[in-house]
């Protein structure tokens, strides 16, 4: 019996179209737009000005406050302007726009191809390096990694969990990474483990990627505290709380963090970025992005500079298909539909998914027949049908009592609902309203 | 407008599950029982079923179109399910106009007055059935003799109509006959299980109903909680009574395979709209139905009590939904 | 038979009497003493329970009025000065008066001037759409048109105009309770001072983009050119974030700014037509409202 999480979950068709594709480098575009707020928390403060020359890997914006992250230029060239530009959030935000002029890397970055797998730095130094490199969670949540690594006093991260689940249908960027960069990945993981002083490291990978499991198992043999675990394919196993439950059978309490049960979770992409940052001094300015979709002629995995417009990626994957209905930044379950093609790739972009017209429209919502399927698929043990009604009626106290804040917005409820009800739309609304009330109460 | 790209909140894909699919799944699950019924009751079974389905669907159509002036949703299949369930609860020789009244009460009073599918507190088919049972007690309890059944228990009593085994038991106990003696007059349990007993259309063939249940469980249309908890609680409760006084109380197996218990547990109590939402709630609801059924059967005036039990528990569903919450993630902290 | 009926009647009456006596004493014992003036004040209020005053209902507002010494921060926008005067009279204090106000929509980006660039397929409410993205046009500041404001209006003062895709305020019904201001996720409603004959001049735009971008996304967007700012003799116009704003308290309704605006984003409503003037877009529009009330009001305004 393969391990998985206990409660709820769905199994959408996997559609991993680009699973066999190698990682190709995407050419650098003539102009890149780097949003300053592409991580969770406060937007970074720009430290360059219009007209400044920057090099690849140069710091262009500094983390602002406790939860924030540094941002580096992903190309060399001249800063055109710092202006508002549309980003994946659907709104215009401050961004640094750079006219590309070649690709001259900062001297400090180690350009050698050899894999260096020894790290003797102290925990503090590692965290500092990760902070400097502007690394955030690359699974999509974009939480600054140095904050996660700084375990609060009195708590201990006994387990380091590495998320190689990639439970979102279509996406294959983590899969491609695990296949081609296994050595580097494992080094990155051991560095993270060292920084956390974790006792055990568990890598969770869903069973639909047997080649990745095999590859990492082979390499992990070298480390005696790292083990690779195959997991049953079930969405949303890539959710932090679900993954912890699946691997070590512990439940993060409501409102708590993984560290409350002695764990810290990192995505494989993040671990790779940590390797590059610590061993090669390379800040986070590129990432692996899957470009996929049933109508796309060449679904692929690309290594992309942060700030590259989405349309370049689509062009490289065979161009925008005729019947495009929706362009999604991320996977089909939790990704965000984008409204324009000139939005740039950011640190949290794990994939660009193109759905065709037939797939992209919702069916009309019908009355709830109280089939309770939403309850049975909810991985958090919530009652989506009830939360939706309460949110529609703005009954915020009851929403809070019924744990709306526990919702991880995985979308399983809307996915399964036979009446096509927009459950998550309303739950998200309720969540944001209750969140506001809670914040006001704290003040 | 078609050229524009679509923007919508996640999730962007859907399972493809629909109300229709679920309803037609239930209808398919009812077909084995219908076939058995046709085999035993012949043309009467077909006629009653068809009249019931057609009238339920037409009433729903008429009410939605002309009274509520709302969108017509008869294609969702829920009216067909109600019609079929109503037919399953009727004797196969019921006059057509009584069926029509039943369908009108089911759809009109049981369902549409509350706002249609999803809002009715009581199972519409049962509302219709109980209405008919109370209004036309004679017609509703005079069951025709199933074909190919000529056990002495039928020839004993008034030629054409065959009472249900539960009716015979009740009658026998009233006259002071011990259970074991009554049982002698009844066919074997195996015969009862495959449908050789008097009763309404759908309830006679326990085996066919169980096939339907397995189909629905496999297709994930229903979960095991409600049927299993009803059957188990009836088994346990009647078992205790039987052990305490075998001459007064029939054994548990008899209670399960006779009457409408399997029909009720598998098809009526599992109705989505009128059953609780959480697994724990479903079990409470099921146990409630089981206990009330046995109370009515053993101590009440009616020989059969499944319909009443389900309706009574339907009334408790909002309360159960309000107070029985699913186990939240992170609640059962198993951090050892 | 008769005895049965007799006993039934007697026992039930007895039961009833006992319950009544018990209830009477319990009510006496547990009576909450309240200032009787609260009831009086509540009586004087419009009992719309709209929440416009910031309290959940009229009774809460009445309690606050009775407790307060100087009506600090207490005002019933629905009842207006008249109601506040009668409340003050009950409590024997001086009334605090405010200028009557009316809601205006600071967006005029109707469907024909603001091209749609995406198709929104989520739940059709403004809050959900605005949480997702800027909207189905290139203007991320403008009206989304799903009518959350119409939904919350308790006074039938808002209706969706189906041709423009924008809500229309009915000046007569509007009580300036502020429900629409709170409901609009784009913060497009402003409560402005009511002028004579409900005349008003305001910048019907909140677009903070630079001129070129704003103009591209919407023909009637304020492009921040400052022409109106320069021409205003009363310093009623301020420029901020590429956007002009007319302060209703300072504006003397001289109409000088209106013809200056190159994008016609300043609206004048309720004025007699001027000579050789292009008619302002909104006045031409006929409102489709099932009750017909809104369209009537607008015609009436024009006649005045």
CA–CA gap between residue A59 and residue A283 (Å, rounded) = 9
CA–CA gap between residue B320 and residue B277 (Å, rounded) = 9
- Region of residue C49 (left: phi > 0; alpha: psi -120 to 50; beta: else): left
Phi, psi of A200 (to 5 degrees): -135, 145
Residue pair A405/C108 in contact by the 8 Å Cβ criterion: no
Within A116-164, residue ranges assigned H as helices are 123-132, 145-149
Is residue B298 scored above 70 in pLDDT? yes
Contact check, Cβ <8 Å, B6/C128: no
Contact check, Cβ <8 Å, C119/B1: yes
Residues A385 and A265 in one domain: no
In the beta sheet, which residues pair with residue A229?
A: A204
CA–CA gap between residue B330 and residue A118 (Å, rounded) = 38
The minimal CB distance from A326 to the residues B12, B116, B275 is found for B12
ipTM surpasses cut 0.85: yes
CB within 8 Å of B201: residues ≥ 6 apart: B34, B37, B41, B45, B48, B49, B87, B88, B89, B90, B91, B92
The minimal CB distance from B7 to the residues C123, C131, C133 is found for C133
User: Average pLDDT of B121-130?
Assistant: 94
User: Average pLDDT of A247-258?
Assistant: 91
Specify the pLDDT at position C301.
44
Specify the pLDDT at position B162.
57
Domain boundary among C46, C72, C91: C91
Structural domain contains residue C50: yes
* pLDDT tens for each residue of A276-292: 999 999 999 999 999 99
Is residue B153 scored above 60 in pLDDT? no
Q: Please give the residue of chain B at the shortest CA–CA distance from A398.
A: B322
CA–CA gap between residue B304 and residue C163 (Å, rounded) = 62
Structural domain contains residue A25: no
Specify the pLDDT at position B28.
95
Residues C118 and C199 in one domain: yes
Is residue B156 scored above 70 in pLDDT? no
Is residue A302 scored above 60 in pLDDT? yes
Dihedral over alpha carbons A368, A371, A374, A375 (to 10 degrees): 130
Structural domain contains residue C23: no
Q: How many domains does chain C have?
A: 2
Q: Please give the residue of chain A at the shortest CA–CA distance from C132.
A: A90
Structural domain contains residue C213: yes
CB within 8 Å of B325: residues ≥ 6 apart: A383, A402, B278
Q: How many domains does chain A have?
A: 2
Q: Give the mean pLDDT of chain B.
A: 87
Domain boundary among A247, A280, A313: A280
* pLDDT tens for each residue of A196-213: 999 999 999 999 999 999
Residue pair A3/A231 in contact by the 8 Å Cβ criterion: yes
Structural domain contains residue C5: no
Residues A273 and A385 in one domain: no
Residue pair C220/C263 in contact by the 8 Å Cβ criterion: yes
Q: Which helix (H) or strand (E) holds B29?
A: helix B19-41
The minimal CB distance from A418 to the residues B2, B19, B335 is found for B19
Structural domain contains residue A146: yes
Structural domain contains residue A260: yes
CA–CA gap between residue A161 and residue A251 (Å, rounded) = 14
pLDDT band at B160 (very low <50, low <70, confident <90, very high): very low
Residues in chain B within 8 Å Cβ distance of A418: 17-19, 21-22
DSSP single-letter state for residue B293: H
Q: Please calculate the CA angle B62-A369-B310 and round it to the nearest 5 degrees.
A: 90
Structural domain contains residue C10: no
Residue pair B75/B64 in contact by the 8 Å Cβ criterion: no
Q: What is the 3-state secondary structure (H, E, C) of B160-174?
A: CECCCHHHHHHHHHH
CA–CA gap between residue C99 and residue C97 (Å, rounded) = 7
Count, residues in chain B:
336
CA–CA gap between residue B186 and residue A75 (Å, rounded) = 89
Residues A267 and A388 in one domain: no
Residues C87 and C231 in one domain: no
Best probe of the C interface among B7, B10, B11, B14, by most C CBs < 10 A, is: B7
Residue pair B153/B136 in contact by the 8 Å Cβ criterion: no
Q: What is the 3-state secondary structure (H, E, C) of B206-249?
A: HHHHHHHHHHHHHCCCCCCHHHHHHHHHHHHHHHHHHHHCCCCC
Structural domain contains residue C251: yes
Structural domain contains residue A341: no
Which structural domain, as residue segments, surrounds residue A432? 373-442
Cα within 13 Å of Cα(B329), Cβ side: 34
Least Cα distance to C139 among C65, C64, C204, C53 occurs for C204
Residues C130 and C236 in one domain: yes
Q: Which residue has the higher pLDDT, A114 or A376?
A: A376
CA–CA gap between residue A134 and residue B249 (Å, rounded) = 77
Q: Please give the residue of chain A at the shortest CA–CA distance from C141.
A: A91
pLDDT band at B154 (very low <50, low <70, confident <90, very high): very low
Residues C272 and C144 in one domain: yes
How many CB atoms sit inside 10 A of residue A190's CB? Answer: 23
Within A238-302, residue ranges assigned H as helices are 240-248, 268-280
CATH code, domain carrying A174: 3.40.50.11540
CB within 8 Å of C215: residues ≥ 6 apart: C221, C223, C263
User: Average pLDDT of B184-191?
Assistant: 76
Where are the extended beta strands (E) located within A87-208? 92-100, 159-163, 200-206
Q: Please calculate the CA angle A248-A252-A257 and round it to the nearest 5 degrees.
A: 115
Phi, psi of A327 (to 5 degrees): -115, 125
Give the neighbours of chain C: at least 3 Cβ pairs within 8 Å. Answer: A, B
* pLDDT tens for each residue of A82-102: 999 998 888 999 999 999 998
Residues A262 and A377 in one domain: no
CATH code, domain carrying C62: 1.10.15.40
Contact check, Cβ <8 Å, C121/B7: yes
Residues A127 and A268 in one domain: yes
Domain boundary among C28, C63, C91: C91
Residue pair B243/B70 in contact by the 8 Å Cβ criterion: no
Contact check, Cβ <8 Å, B1/C120: no
Within A33-135, residue ranges assigned H as helices are 123-132
Is residue A334 scored above 90 in pLDDT? yes
Where are the extended beta strands (E) located within chain B? 5-7
User: Average pLDDT of B20-33?
Assistant: 94
Cis peptide before A236 (omega within 30 of 0): yes
CA torsion sign for A200, A203, A204, A208 is: negative
Residues C148 and C111 in one domain: yes
CB within 8 Å of B127: residues ≥ 6 apart: B105, B106, B109, B110, B311
Residues C85 and C105 in one domain: no
- The alpha-carbon gap from B1 to the nearest alpha carbon of chain C, in Å, equals 7
Structural domain contains residue A301: no
The minimal CB distance from A90 to the residues C121, C127, C134 is found for C134
User: Average pLDDT of B45-61?
Assistant: 94
Q: Which of A173-182, B141-150, C276-285 has the lowest mean pLDDT?
A: C276-285
Specify the pLDDT at position A332.
94
- The segment with the largest mean pLDDT, out of A113-117, B108-112, C74-78, is B108-112
- The alpha-carbon gap from B46 to the nearest alpha carbon of chain A, in Å, equals 29
The minimal CB distance from A91 to the residues C122, C136, C140 is found for C140
Specify the pLDDT at position C1.
67
Domain boundary among A280, A298, A321: A280
CA–CA gap between residue B137 and residue B134 (Å, rounded) = 6
Q: pLDDT per position in chain C (304 positions), as tens? A: 688 899 999 999 999 999 999 999 998 888 877 788 888 888 888 888 888 888 888 888 888 888 887 787 788 888 888 888 888 888 888 877 888 889 999 999 998 899 999 999 999 999 999 999 988 898 999 999 999 999 999 889 999 998 999 999 999 899 888 889 999 999 999 999 888 888 889 999 999 988 889 999 999 999 999 999 999 998 999 999 899 999 988 888 888 899 999 999 999 888 888 765 444 444 444 444 444 444 444 444 444 3
Residues C201 and C156 in one domain: yes
What is A218-239 written as a DSSP string? HHHTT-TTEEEEEE---BTTTS
- The alpha-carbon gap from C162 to the nearest alpha carbon of chain A, in Å, equals 21
Structural domain contains residue C20: no
Residues C207 and C139 in one domain: yes
CA–CA gap between residue B288 and residue B274 (Å, rounded) = 14
Residues C152 and C213 in one domain: yes
Structural domain contains residue A103: no
Kindly state whether B73 is in contact with chain A, defined as any CB-CB distance less than 8 angstroms: yes
Residues A127 and A259 in one domain: yes
Specify the pLDDT at position C53.
82
Specify the pLDDT at position C293.
44
Domain boundary among A280, A308, A323: A280
Strands A159-163 and A200-206: parallel
The minimal CB distance from A336 to the residues B10, B21, B117 is found for B10
Cα within 13 Å of Cα(B61), Cβ side: 10
Q: Which helix (H) or strand (E) holds A441?
A: helix A423-442
Cα distances (Å, whole numbers) of residue A174 to A212, A306, A350: 10, 17, 8
Structural domain contains residue A430: yes
Strands A59-62 and A71-72: antiparallel
Which structural domain, as residue segments, surrounds residue C281? 101-303
Q: Which helix (H) or strand (E) holds A390?
A: helix A384-392
- C118 burial level (CB within 10 Å; 0-12, 13-18, 19+): buried
Residues A138 and A244 in one domain: yes
Contact check, Cβ <8 Å, A12/B272: no
Structural domain contains residue A428: yes
- The alpha-carbon gap from C209 to the nearest alpha carbon of chain A, in Å, equals 9
Contact check, Cβ <8 Å, A91/C117: no
Q: Which helix (H) or strand (E) holds C24?
A: helix C2-29
- The alpha-carbon gap from B117 to the nearest alpha carbon of chain C, in Å, equals 21
Residues C189 and C290 in one domain: yes
Domain boundary among C47, C66, C91: C91
Count, residues in chain A:
443
Specify the pLDDT at position B290.
95
CB within 8 Å of A79: residues ≥ 6 apart: A48, A49, A50, A51, A52, A53, A54, A60, A96, A97, A98, A99
How many CB atoms sit inside 10 A of residue B25's CB? Answer: 18
Residue pair C119/B7 in contact by the 8 Å Cβ criterion: yes
- The alpha-carbon gap from A96 to the nearest alpha carbon of chain B, in Å, equals 26
Residues C188 and C81 in one domain: no
Residues A137 and A263 in one domain: yes
Specify the pLDDT at position B149.
58
- Report A:304-363 residues touching B (Cβ under 8 A): 324-328, 330, 332-339, 353, 355, 357, 359-363
Taking one residue from A and the other from C, the number of pairs with CB-CB distance under 8 angstroms is 42
Structural domain contains residue C75: yes
Residues C40 and C165 in one domain: no
CA–CA gap between residue C237 and residue C250 (Å, rounded) = 8
């Amino acid at each position: 019996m393969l391990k998985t999480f206990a409660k709820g979950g769905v199994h959408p068709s996997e559609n991993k179209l680009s699973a066999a594709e190698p990682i190709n480098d995407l050419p650098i575009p003539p102009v890149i737009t780097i949003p300053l707020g592409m991580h969770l928390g406060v937007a970074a403060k720009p430290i360059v000005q219009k007209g400044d020359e920057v090099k690849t890997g140069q710091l262009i914006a500094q983390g602002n406050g406790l939860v924030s992250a540094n941002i580096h230029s992903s190309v060399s060239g001249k800063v055109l302007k710092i202006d508002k530009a549309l980003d994946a959030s659907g709104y215009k935000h401050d961004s640094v726009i750079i006219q590309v002029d070649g690709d001259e890397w900062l001297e400090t970055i180690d350009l050698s191809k050899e894999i260096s797998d020894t790290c003797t730095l102290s925990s503090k130094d590692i965290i500092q390096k990760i902070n400097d490199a502007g690394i955030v969670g690359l699974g999509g949540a974009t939480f600054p990694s140095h904050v996660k690594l700084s375990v609060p006093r009195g708590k201990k991260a006994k387990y380091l969990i590495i998320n190689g689940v990639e439970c979102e249908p279509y996406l294959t960027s983590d899969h491609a990474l695990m296949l081609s960069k296994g050595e580097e990945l494992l080094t990155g993981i051991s560095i993270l483990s060292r920084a956390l002083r974790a006792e055990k490291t568990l890598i969770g990978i869903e069973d639909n990627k047997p080649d990745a499991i095999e590859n990492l198992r082979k390499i992990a043999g070298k480390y005696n505290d790292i083990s690779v675990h195959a997991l049953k394919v079930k969405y949303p196993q890539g959710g932090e709380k679900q993954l912890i439950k699946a691997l070590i059978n512990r439940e993060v309490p409501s409102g708590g963090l993984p560290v409350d049960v002695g764990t810290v979770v990192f995505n494989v992409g993040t671990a790779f970025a940590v390797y590059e940052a610590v061993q090669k001094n390379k800040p986070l300015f590129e990432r692996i992005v899957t470009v996929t979709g049933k109508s796309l002629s060449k679904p692929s995995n690309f290594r992309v500079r942060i700030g590259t417009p989405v349309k370049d990626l689509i062009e490289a994957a065979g161009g925008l298909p005729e019947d495009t209905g929706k362009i999604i930044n991320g996977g089909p379950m939790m990704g965000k539909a984008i409204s324009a093609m000139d939005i740039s790739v950011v640190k949290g972009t794990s994939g660009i998914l193109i759905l065709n017209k037939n797939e992209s429209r919702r069916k009309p919502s019908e009355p709830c027949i109280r089939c309770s399927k939403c309850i049975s698929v909810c991985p958090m043990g919530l009652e989506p049908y009830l939360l939706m009604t309460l949110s529609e009626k703005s009954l915020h106290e009851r929403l809070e009592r019924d744990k709306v804040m526990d919702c991880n917005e995985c979308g399983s409820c809307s996915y399964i609902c036979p009446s096509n009800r927009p459950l998550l739309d309303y739950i998200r609304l309720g969540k944001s309203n209750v969140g506001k009330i809670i914040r006001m109460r704290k003040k | 407008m078609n050229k524009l790209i679509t923007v919508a909140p996640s999730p962007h894909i859907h399972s493809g599950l629909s109300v229709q699919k679920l309803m037609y799944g239930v209808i398919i699950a009812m077909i084995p029982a219908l076939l058995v019924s046709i085999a035993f009751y012949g043309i009467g079974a077909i006629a009653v079923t068809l009249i019931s389905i057609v009238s339920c669907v037409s009433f729903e159509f008429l009410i939605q179109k002309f009274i509520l002036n709302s969108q017509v949703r008869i294609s969702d299949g829920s009216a067909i399910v109600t019609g079929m369930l109503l037919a399953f609860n009727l004797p196969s020789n019921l006059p057509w106009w009584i069926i029509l009244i039943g369908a009108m009460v089911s759809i009109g009073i049981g369902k549409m007055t509350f706002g249609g599918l999803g809002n009715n507190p009581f199972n519409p088919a049962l509302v219709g059935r109980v209405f008919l049972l109370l209004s036309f007690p004679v017609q509703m309890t005079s069951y025709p003799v199933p074909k190919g059944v000529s056990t002495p228990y039928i020839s004993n009593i008034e030629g054409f109509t065959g009472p249900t085994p539960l009716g015979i038991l009740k009658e026998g106990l009233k006259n002071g006959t011990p259970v074991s003696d009554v049982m002698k007059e009844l066919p074997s349990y195996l015969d009862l299980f495959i449908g050789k007993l008097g009763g309404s259309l759908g309830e006679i063939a326990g085996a066919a109903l169980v096939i339907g249940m397995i189909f629905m469980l496999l297709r994930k249309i229903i979960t095991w909680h409600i049927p299993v908890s009803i059957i188990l609680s009836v088994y346990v409760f009647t078992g205790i009574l039987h052990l305490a006084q075998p001459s007064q109380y029939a054994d548990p197996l008899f209670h399960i395979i006779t009457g409408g218990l399997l029909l009720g547990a598998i098809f009526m109590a599992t109705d989505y709209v009128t059953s609780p939402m959480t697994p724990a709630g479903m079990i409470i609801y099921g146990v409630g139905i089981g206990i009330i059924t046995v109370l009515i059967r053993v101590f009440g005036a009616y020989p059969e009590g499944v319909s009443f039990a389900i309706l009574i528990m339907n009334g408790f569903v909002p309360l159960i939904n309000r107070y029985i919450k699913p186990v939240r993630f992170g609640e059962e902290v198993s951090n050892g | 038979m008769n005895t049965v009926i007799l006993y039934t009647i007697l026992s039930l009456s007895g039961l009833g009497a006992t319950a009544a006596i018990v209830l009477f004493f319990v009510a006496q014992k547990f009576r909450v003493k309240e200032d009787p003036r609260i009831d009086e004040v509540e009586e004087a209020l419009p009992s719309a329970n709209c929440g416009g005053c910031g309290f959940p209902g009229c009774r809460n507002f009445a309690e606050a009025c009775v407790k307060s010494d100087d009506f600090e921060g207490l005002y019933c926008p629905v009842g207006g000065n008249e109601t506040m005067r009668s409340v003050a009279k009950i409590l024997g204090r001086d009334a605090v008066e405010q200028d009557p106000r009316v809601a205006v929509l600071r967006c005029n980006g109707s469907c024909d001037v603001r091209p749609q660039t995406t198709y929104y397929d989520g739940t059709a409410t403004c809050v959900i759409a605005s949480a997702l993205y800027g909207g189905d046009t290139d203007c991320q500041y403008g009206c989304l048109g799903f009518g959350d404001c119409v939904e919350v209006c308790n006074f039938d003062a808002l209706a969706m105009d189906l041709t423009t895709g924008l809500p229309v305020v009915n000046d007569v019904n509007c009580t300036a309770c502020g429900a629409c201001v709170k409901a609009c996720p784009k913060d497009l409603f402003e409560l402005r001072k009511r002028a004579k004959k409900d005349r008003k001049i305001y910048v019907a735009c909140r677009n903070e983009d630079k001129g070129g971008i704003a103009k591209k996304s919407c023909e009637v967007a304020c492009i921040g050119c400052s022409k109106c700012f320069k021409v205003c003799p009363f310093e009623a116009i301020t420029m901020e974030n590429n956007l002009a704003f007319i302060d209703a308290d300072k504006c003397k309704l001289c109409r000088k700014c209106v013809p200056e605006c190159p994008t016609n984003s300043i609206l004048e409503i309720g004025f007699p037509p001027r000579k050789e003037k292009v008619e302002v877009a909104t006045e031409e529009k006929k409102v489709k409202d099932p009750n017909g009330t809104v369209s009537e009001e607008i015609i009436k305004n024009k006649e005045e």
